């Protein structure tokens, strides 16, 4: 986003600041944006807060009061202007700001204070011209401990408003407008950073300025009178659609400023625009200027997978009318915005022949869209560590994983502009929540006013983005009433509070800047309002917020079988679901020491923030896998064995997670065409991690892909083959194909029955082919086959599996465009005769430095399930977590973040390969005699290094010896 608001900008954020502990001795120079915790870490006064239990050791930092102070020079040029504003924001959180204060460092005397704020989510514009002197000035920002302030606010409130209290969490996040998860969450630490995220900037001006613009777009009906007034005949004859764009601008006019003209200019698509609007009166104004633009197929913005993402450049300018041409140019206040033309609606209408049920899906440009995506938590505990490039890389990962929607979860912070810009460019729809989550909130007048100001400002900032598809009031607050004694016992009270805050305050704030068309849900999950008609009052449909009959659903069940599709509800839209896994082994190693590498160690327990999480993981794993014991027998070399055990346990939880998501998402994709369900979206919990701890994420802290992320890429692909195994004695495999492609398709599925001990010479035991045809975006049952029939001559169900491989293309195309593969497991993994040593070999076949790619050939001598290529090197594989067949080598490309040059020598040394064979019976609890050293073979000898030639590498899967 580019802008020139004022005549002169002076950035105060980036230079040296003096940081002082107000009631202590620490004082040194530091850089902003950042927090006191990052600063004392960088100074070496404390160790990395994310390492082991430093979260607790470093707590004194957030419990201290800190002062940030710097001097700056006010030039003659700056002071020549009638107005100088301090634009300041991201104050985290209980902050006092003073200009030219004399009382350093114990805080400012009251008359020096220009702001007392308690909201990290807001930005302020403060007139300070009269406080500045020529030459040196100073700015002082004092941040008080947030935990104390939150507690004080909760104590002073007339009744108890409960907040979430999981392991390691600090209470009362709901009483302070700080990032809620800073108080700890069930996937992250309670670090409570205190600091300044910015901006801190001076803006000087003497003529009117444009502060912000909100843009609303609507399609005009073909008989609208405005069409005839345009010069575009294609709007009149109906060959192009007419979009009305309303630019609502926040304008500030200083005293004695010349008259100004507000004008919108832009691309050739503009068919007519309002005449320039005159601004004269001093003060703040909201002014709306409209243009009619032509929408054609080639300039329409589409969600990813449904079309292109053209973005049109518009310029909004405010120009003084009286000065000379030269002066006019210099004093112009300009905002530039990229706009994607589109229409969108949230379709909530009775399901066919089931009037008591209601759909929930997005229709963009008239096309029904299946939403595939995830939930974003804060990108770091320290937002200042996240660069715009990091933000783009994260959205790119979502795009590479075949997603088209990201839900910005309400317990974090509002993402920076770079996030929405990347989403616009990549066709990623955004479900944006206001920052409220998981417990009731207070509703006194001062709080409501604070929230109204915050949400209005955020709506102004982001609502022009093409990607913004829906606003949500909060995450899970209606659902949370049942979690707490106080709210469960007094639902009426909390329902009234809810309505005041989310329906009466936040909903109008989202819509206020002239953006009334965007869809809004007051919470997620919810059942929506009783009537959707715009003229009807908004009356919330209270009740079972998790109902599958209408609205969206969050689904978590840690007791039922995560591999059984029947575990998952036949809901309309799943905005969250998930199961946990551990952080990847090489990531966890960086934040822990040897004694921690036991799933029952105090450190592993300390980092598990989901109550009962480990027990749930073990219980789920014991259903399906041979579970390695937690502890290796004490004997020489047991340290290495112990590390190996922890690595295997990590791998198991990750494979378990990935397979559960495969089962669940395939189920919900199949249900898109089921008349009773009509499921039209799955957003899994959660995209990213905030530290190396157990969580529901597909990406480790730092962005490394867990096995889940590769499964997501597979299961969200536009064509999906999937299956369901019937229960009961006569087992039937039902085979489905699901398409998100807006054209009809014709294709075929190859079904191969493959024995676990098959070799290259033997090949599949049997092969069959089925053809199918699909309508646009259809899901269909294409075949049913008895397990007995599939197994004929191939042994018992534990001896074999069935591989499904689908290929399809629009009729008339000679080449198959889309492919999908899925494996039908006929028995639990622990009961299957998985080859104990599939002898997986990885060789480098190309490592051209300039391409940042290393290409591997991966082979095995027997089927190897859930093959996981693991490397500590930053980057990701083109595919991973796959079934490897002895007659079908895989060519896998590793995409590095830097050039391949630096890593090619060590790549194979550092590569480890695991597969289900590593979780053979020899590793299971109870199967390993205490005295046996062979149960948990240590990680492999260093793998032979690559010189660029193809040469075989022993992979660690062959290193565990059967006992």
Contact between 782 and 736 (Cβ < 8 Å): yes
Q: Smallest distance from the beta carbon of 926 to ligand BMA, in angstroms?
A: 31
Contact between 98 and 114 (Cβ < 8 Å): yes
Q: Smallest distance from the beta carbon of 188 to ligand BMA, in angstroms?
A: 9
Residue 194, classed as helix, strand or coil, is coil
Q: Quick one: 72 or 409, whose CB is closer to ligand BMA?
A: 409
Contact between 826 and 797 (Cβ < 8 Å): yes
Q: Smallest distance from the beta carbon of 792 to ligand BMA, in angstroms?
A: 45
Query: With the CA atoms of 204, 208, 214 and 218 taken in that order, what torsion angle do they form, in degrees rounded to the nearest 10?
Result: -160
Q: Smallest distance from the beta carbon of 689 to ligand BMA, in angstroms?
A: 12
Query: How many Å apart are CA 18 and CA 902, to the nearest integer?
Result: 39
Q: Quick one: 187 or 515, whose CB is closer to ligand BMA?
A: 187
Q: Smallest distance from the beta carbon of 433 to ligand BMA, in angstroms?
A: 10
Query: How many Å apart are CA 367 and CA 362, to the nearest integer?
Result: 8
Q: Smallest distance from the beta carbon of 524 to ligand BMA, in angstroms?
A: 8
Give every strand in the sheet of 912-914, ordered side by side: 882-884, 864-870, 912-914
Q: Which two tokens stand for residue 634?
A: 């004490």
Q: Smallest distance from the beta carbon of 147 to ligand BMA, in angstroms?
A: 20
Q: Smallest distance from the beta carbon of 181 to ligand BMA, in angstroms?
A: 8
Q: Quick one: 7 or 576, whose CB is closer to ligand BMA?
A: 576
Q: How many separate helices (H) and strands (E) can be counted in the chain?
A: 22, 49
Burial class of 793 by CB neighbour count within 10 A (0 to 12, 13 to 18, 19+) = exposed
Contact between 882 and 913 (Cβ < 8 Å): no
Q: Quick one: 186 or 454, whose CB is closer to ligand BMA?
A: 186
Q: Smallest distance from the beta carbon of 479 to ligand BMA, in angstroms?
A: 8
For the chain, the farthest-separated pair of C-alpha atoms sits apart, in whole angstroms, at: 93
Q: Quick one: 7 or 186, whose CB is closer to ligand BMA?
A: 186
Contact between 12 and 1 (Cβ < 8 Å): no
Q: Quick one: 289 or 686, whose CB is closer to ligand BMA?
A: 686
Query: With the CA atoms of 481, 508, 210 and 269 taken in that order, what torsion angle do they form, in degrees rounded to the nearest 10?
Result: 110
Q: Smallest distance from the beta carbon of 374 to ligand BMA, in angstroms?
A: 12
Q: Smallest distance from the beta carbon of 797 to ligand BMA, in angstroms?
A: 35
Residue count of the chain, please give it.
963
Q: Smallest distance from the beta carbon of 578 to ligand BMA, in angstroms?
A: 7
Q: Quick one: 377 or 913, whose CB is closer to ligand BMA?
A: 377
Q: Smallest distance from the beta carbon of 450 to ligand BMA, in angstroms?
A: 23
Q: Quick one: 437 or 869, whose CB is closer to ligand BMA?
A: 437
Contact between 103 and 59 (Cβ < 8 Å): no
Q: Smallest distance from the beta carbon of 166 to ligand BMA, in angstroms?
A: 9
Q: Smallest distance from the beta carbon of 366 to ligand BMA, in angstroms?
A: 32
Q: Quick one: 85 or 476, whose CB is closer to ligand BMA?
A: 476
Q: Smallest distance from the beta carbon of 869 to ligand BMA, in angstroms?
A: 28
Q: Quick one: 312 or 477, whose CB is closer to ligand BMA?
A: 477
| Straight-line distance from the first to the last Cα atom of the chain, in angstroms, rounded to the nearest whole number | 63
Query: What is residue 299's DSSP assignment?
Result: G
Contact between 310 and 300 (Cβ < 8 Å): yes
Q: Quick one: 568 or 597, whose CB is closer to ligand BMA?
A: 568
Query: How many Å apart are CA 203 and CA 333, to the nearest integer?
Result: 12
Residues forming the site for ligand BMA (CB under 6 A):
185-187, 411, 437-438, 475-476, 554, 576, 685, 696
Q: Quick one: 380 or 425, whose CB is closer to ligand BMA?
A: 380
Residue 364, classed as helix, strand or coil, is strand
Contact between 384 and 196 (Cβ < 8 Å): no
Query: How many Å apart are CA 947 and CA 386, to the nearest integer?
Result: 36
Angle at 574 between CA 569 and CA 576, to 5 degrees: 110
What's the half-sphere exposure (Cβ side, CA atoms, 13 Å) at 337? 26
Q: Quick one: 484 or 685, whose CB is closer to ligand BMA?
A: 685
Peptide bond into 33 cis (omega under 30): yes
Contact between 869 and 881 (Cβ < 8 Å): no
Q: Quick one: 625 or 685, whose CB is closer to ligand BMA?
A: 685
Q: Quick one: 358 or 476, whose CB is closer to ligand BMA?
A: 476
Write the DSSP assignment of 886-930 as a string of letters.
TTB-EEEEEEESS-GGGTTTTHHHH-EEE-GGGGSGGGSTTSS-T
Query: How many Å apart are CA 348 and CA 357, to the nearest integer?
Result: 9
Q: Quick one: 188 or 427, whose CB is closer to ligand BMA?
A: 188
Residue labelled with tokens 């009269």:
130
Q: Quick one: 698 or 718, whose CB is closer to ligand BMA?
A: 698
* Residues linked to residue 293 through DSSP beta bridges, in sequence order: 243, 270
Query: How many Å apart are CA 299 and CA 34, to the nearest integer?
Result: 41
Q: Residue 292: which residues within 8 A CB-CB, separation 6 or more?
A: 220, 226, 227, 230, 235, 242, 243, 244, 245, 270, 271, 272, 273
Burial class of 727 by CB neighbour count within 10 A (0 to 12, 13 to 18, 19+) = exposed
Contact between 40 and 26 (Cβ < 8 Å): yes
Query: How many Å apart are CA 711 and CA 729, to the nearest integer?
Result: 30
How are beta strands 519-521 and 468-472 bridged, if at all?
parallel
E-assigned strand segments in 450-545: 468-472, 519-521
Query: How many Å apart are CA 723 and CA 736, to the nearest integer?
Result: 6
Q: Smallest distance from the beta carbon of 529 to ligand BMA, in angstroms?
A: 22
Q: Quick one: 254 or 378, whose CB is closer to ligand BMA?
A: 378
Q: Smallest distance from the beta carbon of 186 to ligand BMA, in angstroms?
A: 5
């Amino acid at each position: 986003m580019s802008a020139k608001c004022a005549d002169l900008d002076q950035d105060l954020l980036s230079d040296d600041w003096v940081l002082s502990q107000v009631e202590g001795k620490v004082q040194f120079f530091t850089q902003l944006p950042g927090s006191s915790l990052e600063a004392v870490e960088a100074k070496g006064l404390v160790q990395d807060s994310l390492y082991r239990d430093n979260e607790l050791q470093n707590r004194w930092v957030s419990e201290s009061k800190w002062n940030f102070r710097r001097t700056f020079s006010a030039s003659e040029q700056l002071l020549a202007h009638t107005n100088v504003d301090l634009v300041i924001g991201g104050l985290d959180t209980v902050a006092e700001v003073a200009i030219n204060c004399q009382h350093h460092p114990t805080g400012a005397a009251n008359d020096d204070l220009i702001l007392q704020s308690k909201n990290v989510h807001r930005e302020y514009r403060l007139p300070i011209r009269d406080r500045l002197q020529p030459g040196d000035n100073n700015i002082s920002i004092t941040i008080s401990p947030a935990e104390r302030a939150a507690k004080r606010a909760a104590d002073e409130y007339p009744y108890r408003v409960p907040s979430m209290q999981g392991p390691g969490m600090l209470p009362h996040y709901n009483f302070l407008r700080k990032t809620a998860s800073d108080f700890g969450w069930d996937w992250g630490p309670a670090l409570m950073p205190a600091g300044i995220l910015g901006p801190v900037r001076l803006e000087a001006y003497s003529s009117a300025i444009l502060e912000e613009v909100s843009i609303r777009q609507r399609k005009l009906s073909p008989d609208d009178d405005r069409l005839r007034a345009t010069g575009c005949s294609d709007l009149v004859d109906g060959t192009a659609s007419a979009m009305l764009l309303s630019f609502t601008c926040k304008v500030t006019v200083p005293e004695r400023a010349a008259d100004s003209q507000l004008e919108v200019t832009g691309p050739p698509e503009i068919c007519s625009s309002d005449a320039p609007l005159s601004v004269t009166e001093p003060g703040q104004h909201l002014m709306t200027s409209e243009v009619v633009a032509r929408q054609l197929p080639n300039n329409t913005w589409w969600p990813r997978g449904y079309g292109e993402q053209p973005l049109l450049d518009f310029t909004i300018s405010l120009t003084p009318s009286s000065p000379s041409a030269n002066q006019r140019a210099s004093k112009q206040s300009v905002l530039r915005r990229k706009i994607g033309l589109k229409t969108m609606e949230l379709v909530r209408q009775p399901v066919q022949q089931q009037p008591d049920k209601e759909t929930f899906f997005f229709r963009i440009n008239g096309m029904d869209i299946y939403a595939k995506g995830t939930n974003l938590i804060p990108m770091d505990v320290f937002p200042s560590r996240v660069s715009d490039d990091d933000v783009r890389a994260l959205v790119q990962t979502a795009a590479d994983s075949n997603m088209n929607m990201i839900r910005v979860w309400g317990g974090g912070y509002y993402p920076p502009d770079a996030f929405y810009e990347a989403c616009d460019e990549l066709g990623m729809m955004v479900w944006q929540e206001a920052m409220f989550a998981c417990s009731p909130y207070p509703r006194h007048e001062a709080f409501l006013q604070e929230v109204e100001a915050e949400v209005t400002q955020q709506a102004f900032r982001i609502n022009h983005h093409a990607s913004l598809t829906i606003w949500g009031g909060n995450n899970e607050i209606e659902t949370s009433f049942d979690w707490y004694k106080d709210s469960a016992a007094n639902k009426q009270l909390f329902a009234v509070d809810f309505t005041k805050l989310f329906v009466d305050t936040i909903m109008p704030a989202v819509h206020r800047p002239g953006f009334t068309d965007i869809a809004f849900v007051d919470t997620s999950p919810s059942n929506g309002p009783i009537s959707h008609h715009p003229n009807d009052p908004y009356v919330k449909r209270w009740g079972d917020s998790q109902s599958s009959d209408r609205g969206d659903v969050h689904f978590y069940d840690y007791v039922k079988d995560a591999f059984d599709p029947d575990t998952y509800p036949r809901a309309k839209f799943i905005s969250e679901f998930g199961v946990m896994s551990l952080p990847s082994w090489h990531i966890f190693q960086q934040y822990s020491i040897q004694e921690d590498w036991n799933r029952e160690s105090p450190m592993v327990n300390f980092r598990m923030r989901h109550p009962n999480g480990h027990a749930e993981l073990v219980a789920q794993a014991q259903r399906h896998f041979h579970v390695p014991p937690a502890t290796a027998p004490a004997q020489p070399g047991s340290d290495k064995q112990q590390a190996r055990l922890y690595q295997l346990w990590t791998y198991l939880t990750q494979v378990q997670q990935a397979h559960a998501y495969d089962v669940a998402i395939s189920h919900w994709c199949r249900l898109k065409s089921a008349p009773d369900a009509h499921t039209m979206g799955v957003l899994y919990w959660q995209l990213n991690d905030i530290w190396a701890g157990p969580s529901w994420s597909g990406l480790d802290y730092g962005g490394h892909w867990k096995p889940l992320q590769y499964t997501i890429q597979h299961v969200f692909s536009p064509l999906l083959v999937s299956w369901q195994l019937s229960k009961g004695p006569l087992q039937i495999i039902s085979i489905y194909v699901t398409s998100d492609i807006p054209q009809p398709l014709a294709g075929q599925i190859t079904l191969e029955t493959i024995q676990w001990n098959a070799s290259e010479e033997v090949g599949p035991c049997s092969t069959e082919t089925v053809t199918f045809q699909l309508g646009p975006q259809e899901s269909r049952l294409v075949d049913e086959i008895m397990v007995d029939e599939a197994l004929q001559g191939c042994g018992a169900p534990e001896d074999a599996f069935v591989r499904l491989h689908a290929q399809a293309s629009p009729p008339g195309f000679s080449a198959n465009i889309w492919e999908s593969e899925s494996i039908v497991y006929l028995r639990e993994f622990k009961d299957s005769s998985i080859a104990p040593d599939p002898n997986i070999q990885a060789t480098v076949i190309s490592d051209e430095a300039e391409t940042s790619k290393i290409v591997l050939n991966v082979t095995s001598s027997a089927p190897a399930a859930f093959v996981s290529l693991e490397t500590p090197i930053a980057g990701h594989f083109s595919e991973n977590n796959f079934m490897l067949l002895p007659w079908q080598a895989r060519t896998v490309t590793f995409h590095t973040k830097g050039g391949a040059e630096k890593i090619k020598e060590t790549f194979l040394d550092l590569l480890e390969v695991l597969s289900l064979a590593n979780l053979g019976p020899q590793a299971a609890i109870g199967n390993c005699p205490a005295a046996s050293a062979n149960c948990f073979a240590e990680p492999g000898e260093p793998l032979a290094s690559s010189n660029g030639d193809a040469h075989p590498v022993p992979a660690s899967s062959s290193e565990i010896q059967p006992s």
